[in-house]
Structures are given as C-alpha cells and as structure tokens.
Structure 1
Amino acid sequence: MSEFPKKKASFPIGLTLATAIAFLILCGLGAWQLQRLHWKENVLARIEALKTAPALPLVQVLTEKARPEDLAWTRVSVDCGDVAGEALPLVYGVHDGDVVWRAQAPCAVLAGPYNMILIDRGLVPALTSQVAPPPRAFDPPRRVVGVLIPIAQLGGDRAKILDRFTGRKPAPLVLMAEVETPAPAGITPAPLPAEISNRHLEYALTWFGLAVTLLFIYAAMLWRRVRP
C-alpha cells in the first residue's frame, strides 16, 4: 500500500484575526486603566491639598465659564436662603458595611448663572442599618462650609432631585457639607470618604498580562498547527 503525504496545514487566518482583535481589546483596557490611574492620583492629590485649603465664597467659584468637573473638591462657603417645597428624600448609601442614609436640602443662592445648589448635609446616625427609614425633617441649612462634587459623579437619583425645582436654575454640583452654622441636630457631616482605593495600576498590569498570555497561547497553537 502506498502512503499519501500529509497535507500541509493552512495558515489560520480566522484564528489570527480573532487573536489580534482580542489582543487589541486587552491592551486598550490596560491603557484605559493607566488613564484612570493618572486621574485617581490627581483626585487624591486634590483631596490631600483640600485638607488645608481655605474656603472660597461660592459666588466667586461658580461662574459662567466654570465647568463642573473642574470644580470637584473645591472648598467653598455659602449663606443659604430658603427654598419653598417639601423636604427632600434621604439618600441611600453604605458606610463601613452598614446601610446609611444621608440628608440633603436645597440652598437658595445667587452664584453665577445659578440660583440654587443642592447640599449633602451628611449621615443620619439614628437611621443606620434601616432598610426603609421613616421620613425625617430637619431645620434648613444656613451657613455651610464644604466641598463641591459634580452631581454626575455621585450617581443614583441625585440629578433627578433637581427636576422638581422647575422655577430655579440649580447648579450641576452638590455641596458636601463639612460644617454648618448652626449645626443641625441629628446629622453628622461626612463629606469625604475615609479611604479611596487606587488599584488601577494593578488592574492595568492584569489586562496587559492577559494580553501577553494570549500571545503565548496563540504562538503555541500556531506552532502545533503549521509544524511538519
């Protein structure tokens, strides 16, 4: 019997294209994490500088040219006027593994193009661990010193709260209260997280490591496929 020579395997074009696409995606995710790393380092540096930064008048900080993202973590002070309407609902959160609720209130102010800003007054300790707390009413804020956070960064239903103030022009920021005068009973200010994790370098190395591993796997499969 005669033996037929084995047909030489063709170059795996489909496998190569799939590997190339996956490799680019993994590298893109790694590069994105490096961008997040630089962003987080800037945020942490601003928070560190914030600890000793003086409070600026809110009317000075909020101007027509000021972008909300550029005002993040700026410490300001403001004298609040009253805003008619029902008390705002509490905001759900998690603190040290427990369910917590944050009090919020509107603050009437003439600052640049805006005439109102939302105040996050802090935690309500009496409601910690409650899944469905009863409504709570607090005295309106008067003089507040705190830091600005773009409302888009806080997520949740914060931005929807502003929809009820149809007759006003609320700023797209939340003032996280550090100190209120007079201090509201039953509220503990909690403007900044106790610790902000920064593991983006670890995540970037993971994505790049997966990309390199993918190349080794592809090389091994290609060698087995095309070898004599």
Structure 2
Amino acid sequence: MRRILFLMIFGLAGLGVLVSLGVWQMQRMAWKEGILAEIDARIAADPIDLPQTVSEADDKYLPVTLSGEMEPEEIHVLVSVKQVGAGYRIIQPFSVEDRTVLVDRGFVPVTDKQAERVSGPMEVSGNLHWPDEVDGYTPEPDIDDNIWFARDLPNLAAALGTEPVLLIARTETDPGVTPLPVDTANIPNDHLQYAITWFGLALVWAAMTGYFLWRNRAPSEREAQ
C-alpha cells in the first residue's frame, strides 16, 4: 500500500506540474496576442509628421508621413521574399527640411539591383522601425558591390550621412520597388505549441501513472484471490 500511495502522490504531483505549465503557456499566449494586437493597431494608425526627437523606446512602429526629397544614393540589403526569391531592400536618404533620415523603399529582384529609380520631391508614408538583424554571424557589408546583409541602422546612417532614423515605406515610391511594410508576422508567438506539448506530456504522464498503479495492484489482487 505504501508503494501504491507513493506512486499516486508522485503521479499526481507530476501531473499537476505539467498541467500548470500548459495553463501558464495558454496565459502567455493570451498576453502575447494582446501585445501583437496593440502593435497592429499602432502600425495601422493614421500617420503623423516626423517628431523632432525620436527614440526606439517611444516611437517604434510609429506611423509617419515624410514630405521632402528622396536622395539618389542608395544601399542594397540582401533579403529573400517568400514565393519571389532573393533580392534587395533599397535604403536611401530622405531630406525633410533641415534633417535627413533613412527610408526603406522596399524590395527589388536581383536583376533590378542597378535599375534607375525615381528620386527627388515626394511624400512617403510608413512606420519608424529599429530592425534587430545583426548578430555575431552577420557578415561585413561588401562595400565594393554595395551588398549589405542586415539593416544595421547605425552603420547605414553613417554610410549615407543621415540620422539613425529609419522609415519603412508602406506606400509605393517607385513603380519598380515593392514596399515591404512593417507587420507582426515575424514576431514569434509559439505559446500554443508549447501548451500543446505540456498538455501532451501531462496525458502521457497520467497514462504511465495509471499503468504503474495497475501493475502494482495486480499482484495483490491475485494474492487475495
């Protein structure tokens, strides 16, 4: 009986831990979905003029409209787009009165890397963003061929002589450039998969506990007979 009691306590304790972890992941999923909904609402809000001072903490995803002049110099950031393939993000300086910031105009295929693009006076709407794309494995940019491997904002700004402020265009600025606007698709939300994993382990744990209890009760029942 002591062994059966121990198995029951151990089994129920393990089951409680696994179920609680699954419930916690469901709660985390609800929290994350709320955060993503807030970001989506911020991204889709009506754009405003570029604030005089901006910061990542306060202004990430802020919708902004720039009215000024697109400068002709550009940087090409290597990317891959689903169902399209490899190409480049076109990053250019944009002058607004006495300020110059960066604009990510969007995507061009590899074959259009050197194509002539519309520049000069225009209006661009999009969202301010601080991409987190640089890590220890990111190659250094190929300056000679103008190929960058990440949107390294401080270095992009230094190379083009702008403020370290980046607007991701959501309106078309050139017929040959496809905007790649900011969205939440790349923000991970894997809590449902984690919850399913924990609940699945809880089910297996319950089945194993029941099996061991049955095995340990079976000899006693046979002896009683």
What is the TM-score when the length of structure 2 is the normalising length?
0.58
Q: Deviations over 1:47-71 (max 9, x none)?
A: 34654x32212224x44xx4x2553
| CA distance 1:138–1:207, shift in 2 (3 Å) | same
Q: Which residue of 1 aligns with 2:117?
A: 138
Q: Which residue of 1 aligns with 2:33?
A: 40
The alignment yields a C-alpha RMSD, in angstroms, of 4.7
Q: Which residue of 1 aligns with 2:132?
A: 152
| Distance in 2 (alpha carbons) for counterparts of 1:151 and 1:197 | 12
| Distance in 1 (alpha carbons) for counterparts of 2:113 and 2:19 | 47
CA deviation after TM superposition for structure 1 residue 164, in Å: 5.0
User: SS in structure 2 opposite 1:163?
Assistant: helix
Q: Which residue of 1 aligns with 2:202?
A: 212
| Distance in 2 (alpha carbons) for counterparts of 1:199 and 1:161 | 25
| CA distance 1:207–1:92, shift in 2 (3 Å) | same
5+ long unaligned stretches in structure 2: 139-148, 221-225
What amino acid sits opposite 1:104 in the alignment? I
Q: Which residue of 1 aligns with 2:65?
A: 77
| Distance in 1 (alpha carbons) for counterparts of 2:51 and 2:77 | 27
| Distance in 1 (alpha carbons) for counterparts of 2:48 and 2:190 | 32
| CA distance 1:159–1:26, shift in 2 (3 Å) | farther
Q: Which residue of 2 aligns with 1:93?
A: 80
- 1:26/1:207 contact within 8 Å kept: no
CA deviation after TM superposition for structure 1 residue 205, in Å: 4.2
| CA distance 1:41–1:200, shift in 2 (3 Å) | farther
| Distance in 2 (alpha carbons) for counterparts of 1:29 and 1:116 | 49
- 1:118/1:175 contact within 8 Å kept: yes
Q: Which residue of 2 aligns with 1:119?
A: 103
5+ long unaligned stretches in structure 1: 1-7
What amino acid sits opposite 1:59 in the alignment? P
Q: Which residue of 2 aligns with 1:170?
A: 164
Q: Deviations over 1:68-126 (max 9, x none)?
A: 25534321123456779x6311441324x222533222446699xxx7643221233xx
CA deviation after TM superposition for structure 1 residue 133, in Å: 6.5
| Distance in 2 (alpha carbons) for counterparts of 1:118 and 1:46 | 22
Q: Deviations over 1:167-219 (max 9, x none)?
A: 76514xx4221236xx3341133415597899757435413422421331341
| Distance in 1 (alpha carbons) for counterparts of 2:116 and 2:26 | 42
Aligned residues: percent identity?
15
Q: Which residue of 2 aligns with 1:59?
A: 51
Across the two proteins, how many residue pairs are aligned to each other?
197
Q: Which of the numbers 174, 178, 197 marks the counterpart of 1:188?
A: 178
What is the TM-score when the length of structure 1 is the normalising length?
0.58
